[in-house]
Chains A and B, each alone.
Chain A
Amino acid sequence: MTRVNLARNEVLVALVILAFCALATLSDPGFLSMPTLTDLLRGGIVLGIFAVAAMLVLVSGGIDVSFTAVAAFAMYSTTLFLVTHAPGMPWPLAFLISMAIGAALGAINGLFIAGFGLPTLIVTLGTLSIFRGFLLTFVGSKLISNLPPEMRAFSRLMMLRGTNADGSFYSLPWAFAALVAVVVVTWAILHRTMLGRSIFAIGGSVESARRIGVSVRAVQFFVYVYVGMLAGLAGIIHASMARVANPFDLVGLELSVIAAVVLGGARLTGGHGTLTGTLLGVALIVLVRNSLIVIGIPSTWQSVAIGVLILVGTGLPAWQAKRAEARAA
């Protein structure tokens, strides 16, 4: 019989999610319903894509705080281009443009990190200001609320729609499929390619990876370009679903996303991280954000709750590792 391993964050987070849902159902029986589920899934799309990207960077042993600025930049400049020059462009093309812009900005991070060997936190803190400053100074700082028709059309594509018993509508947009695709592609890269092994290897130990012949610079460069590309995708999805391109959106989310990823078991020291854990971490954060009030905690305590979750989620494994180390010594 396999014992439930509490030391694993995935298990811990899953248990907390179950307990949270149980509590919420007790205080409001209407909690367990299709509208709640679709709300949570919809709320998890953009956060989930960001989290998968952030997880990949953590696995490679780095940290990226600039991805929200990349997303805002790619989203806003793509929308502006479409509105002013190509209003009729089909949405898949618009998505590709946004992803390409994101990849290009990611390449700038990659250049500083892989090329010059600068610490990743400092570089991405710097590029966060640069990308955001450039966007707001030179591209634009006004809301675009009349999105091009194709982006509006995308937001109306529904996978699922229906009416609840009490007459409320619920729906799940096709945008959710983008998160699924991102998860599948990232899983394949991490677990079915040499590149994926190399990412884990340099996250575990740069020096060892280098000695077994991994091209550390190339792998790091790929990681930051890929993250930029995912950020571009998340950005354009966010704008389409919100039906507005707001250049001030998204930036500020980066630390919550990283918190969700670490909650799911990825380690800041690199080499460790799973997609399951990441998605569970996202689910927990979205759940706490959307439904704290259902279990009777006023929303003013929301950030305390998320802070406590981060400390407990990272504290338990850290404490266990420390005890194991003390026993071994």
Chain B
Amino acid sequence: MTGRARLGALLAGPEGRLAVIAVVVFAAMALLSPDRFLSVQNMTSMAFQFPEFAILALATTVAMLTGGIDLSVVGIANLSAIIAATILTQLAGPGVEGAAAAGWMAGAVAASLAVGAVAGLFNGVLIAVLGLPPILATLGSGLIFTGIAIALTGGSAVMGFPPVVAWLGNGLVFGIPVPLILFALLAGAIALLLARTGFGLKIQMLGTNPLAARFAAMNVTGVLIRVYMLSGMLAATSGLVIMSRANSAKADYGSSYILLAVLIAVLGGVNPYGGHGRVIGVVLAVLSMQFLSSGLNMLQVSNFARELIWGALLIFVMIVNSQGRFRPARGARPAAPPTQP
């Protein structure tokens, strides 16, 4: 294969284009601010920063693959973090150490995952059993989860954790940040789930054509409920990471992450109409966003300009990806996308 043909093949798929974008952004930032962007300190701080919203992006990705969307992930993350935080502060107290601390931590993690699963079950029932459109079901349930979190705490932050909590968000294992390891494990697990299991295949079939999935005798209700439970548990995990990094839990943490999570999923090539999307794309999208964000931060570009650039990047990538890919006809789902040349 000639170099040009190889480049053409790489650019043909959304993941390939995204990989190019990630590399270009990295190179540009490295050239513009070499001593600071390439520093070890910046690399570690990036590795600590992105996992919390990257895990939320994974949560929205699985919902989006079925043709739905989960707008309640931030609500679930904060509510489950508040439950975990309440256990850690009220029952365990800031003084516990050693085995007792590890035990309380395990209990708090289990409780928050259970909250995530129950919240996801609630979403799944609304969508699969009652037939609510996913946007509205998760918009309403997100308000409810946030509202319960506000009502439980009166709107203030829960703090005063035992020191063991900090490990999850700020610890290092062999010099690698714990949140990064967690994200890598989750991304690997979701990628395997989608590519290698019957459940993963069902998720993608359902997203491609729900009617055909039903005619193929798939238990659509069961699959949807499990997808939203998975999304809820991923959101709860992200909530734990946010809690540990902030060393507190509050009902309105990460409120801008909802937009960011949807943006990353779409940027990563997940088709908002369902059916198509790969975890590698989401990972590449997360990396591009983080390189851009940290780089612009070093160039002293304001947060607002970053928001502007994110939006522009989203629309740019959508235009490139849409060439022959999306048919946004309402009501009718898009036909199977043409195979990649």
A-side residues, CB < 8 A to B, are: 61-63, 112, 116-123, 125-130, 132-137, 141, 202-207, 255, 258-259, 262, 268-270, 298, 300-311, 314-315, 318-319, 321-322
Give bound CA distance, A110 to B150, whole Å: 38
The answer to whether A203 touches B330 (Cβ under 8 A) is: yes
Most buried by B among A117, A204, A321: A117
Known: A207-B332, A318-B131. A133 touches B311 (CB 8 A): yes
The answer to whether B272 touches A129 (Cβ under 8 A) is: no
| Count of A-B contacts judged by CB separation below 8 Å | 168
The answer to whether B304 touches A125 (Cβ under 8 A) is: no
Known: A134-B308, A268-B135. A129 touches B259 (CB 8 A): yes
Residues of A within 8 A of B155 (CB): 300
The answer to whether A304 touches B315 (Cβ under 8 A) is: no
The answer to whether B143 touches A122 (Cβ under 8 A) is: no
The answer to whether A322 touches B315 (Cβ under 8 A) is: no
Residues of B within 8 A of A300 (CB): 147, 150-151, 154-155
B140, B143, B146, B148: the one contacting A314 at CB < 8 Å is B140
**26 pairs across A/B with beta carbons < 8 Å?**
A112-B319, A117-B328, A121-B135, A122-B318, A123-B315, A125-B259, A125-B262, A125-B311, A126-B311, A127-B311, A129-B311, A133-B306, A133-B311, A205-B332, A268-B135, A303-B146, A303-B147, A304-B144, A306-B147, A307-B142, A308-B140, A310-B139, A310-B143, A311-B136, A311-B144, A314-B133
Give bound CA distance, A136 to B131, whole Å: 40
Q: How many Å from the CB of B211 to the closest CB on chain A?
A: 12
Closest chain B residue, CB of each to CB of A115: B319
Give bound CA distance, A315 to B310, whole Å: 34
Q: Residue-by-residue, is B126-158 near A (CB-CB < 8 Å gives 1, otherwise 0)?
A: 100011110111011111101110110011000
Interface flag for B39 (CB, 8 Å): no
B-side residues, CB < 8 A to A, are: 71, 126, 130-133, 135-137, 139-144, 146-148, 150-151, 154-155, 259, 262-263, 266, 272-273, 302, 304-312, 314-315, 318-319, 322, 326-332
B130, B151, B266, B331: the one contacting A315 at CB < 8 Å is B130
Residues of A within 8 A of B259 (CB): 125, 128-129
Shortest Cβ-Cβ A-B pairs, 8 listed: A133-B308, A129-B311, A307-B143, A304-B147, A310-B140, A136-B304, A307-B144, A303-B147
Known: A126-B318, A301-B151, A308-B140. A322 touches B130 (CB 8 A): yes
Most buried by A among B71, B141, B266, B315: B315
The answer to whether A303 touches B144 (Cβ under 8 A) is: yes
Give the secondary structure class of B's interface: helix
Residues of B within 8 A of A269 (CB): 133, 330-331
Residues of B within 8 A of A126 (CB): 263, 311-312, 314-315, 318
Residues of B within 8 A of A125 (CB): 259, 262-263, 311, 314
Closest chain B residue, CB of each to CB of A323: B131
Give bound CA distance, A19 to B148, whole Å: 24
Give bound CA distance, A314 to B132, whole Å: 7
Residues of B within 8 A of A141 (CB): 304
Known: A129-B310, A303-B146. A205 touches B139 (CB 8 A): no
Give bound CA distance, A63 to B310, whole Å: 20
The answer to whether A117 touches B144 (Cβ under 8 A) is: no
Residues of A within 8 A of B137 (CB): 311, 314-315
Known: A61-B331, A318-B133. A306 touches B143 (CB 8 A): yes
Residues of B within 8 A of A63 (CB): 135
Residues of B within 8 A of A116 (CB): 319, 322
Question: A122-B318, A126-B312, A255-B139 are known contacts; what are 13 more A-B pairs with Cβ within 8 Å?
Answer: A117-B327, A132-B308, A133-B304, A134-B308, A135-B304, A262-B136, A268-B133, A269-B330, A270-B331, A300-B151, A307-B141, A314-B136, A318-B132
Q: How many Å from the CB of A61 to the closest CB on chain B?
A: 4
